[in-house]
């Protein structure tokens, strides 16, 4: 996968979707099986609903109310 392919896939991602993080991982070429396991909870080490922790690969947290520029 080259940079042009990644860039075109990134532009097609819906940034407001609840599946944003999974679409982002897919755009970077991660295997569908791994993304499915992460989504189902087998690879997710987090106990919280809005946090995804994939050991040594990803930390993702939905934050809607905080000022992230501080």
Q: What is the pLDDT of residues 11-66, one digit of tens each?
A: 988 888 888 999 999 999 999 999 999 999 899 999 988 899 999 999 999 888 88
In a domain, 19, yes or no: yes
Residue 40 tokens, joined: 């189902």
In a domain, 70, yes or no: no
Which residues span the domain enclosing 34?
3-61
Domain count, the chain: 1
State CA 38 to chain mean position distance. Answer: 10
In a domain, 68, yes or no: no
**pLDDT tens-digit readout, 42-57:** 999 999 888 999 999 9
In a domain, 37, yes or no: yes
The distance between the two most distant Cα atoms of the chain, rounded to a whole number of Å, is 37
pLDDT for position 50: 85
In a domain, 51, yes or no: yes
In a domain, 44, yes or no: yes
Q: How far apart are CA 30 and CA 13, in angstroms?
A: 15
In a domain, 40, yes or no: yes
In a domain, 48, yes or no: yes
Q: How far apart are CA 13 and CA 23, in angstroms?
A: 7
pTM (2 d.p.): 0.81
């Amino acid at each position: 996968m080259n940079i042009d392919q990644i860039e075109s896939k990134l532009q097609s991602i819906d940034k407001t979707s609840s599946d944003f993080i999974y679409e982002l991982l897919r755009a970077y070429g991660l295997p569908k099986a791994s993304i499915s396991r992460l989504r189902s909870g087998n690879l997710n080490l987090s106990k919280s609903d809005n946090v995804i922790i994939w050991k040594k690969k990803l930390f993702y947290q939905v934050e809607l109310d905080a000022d992230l520029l501080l």
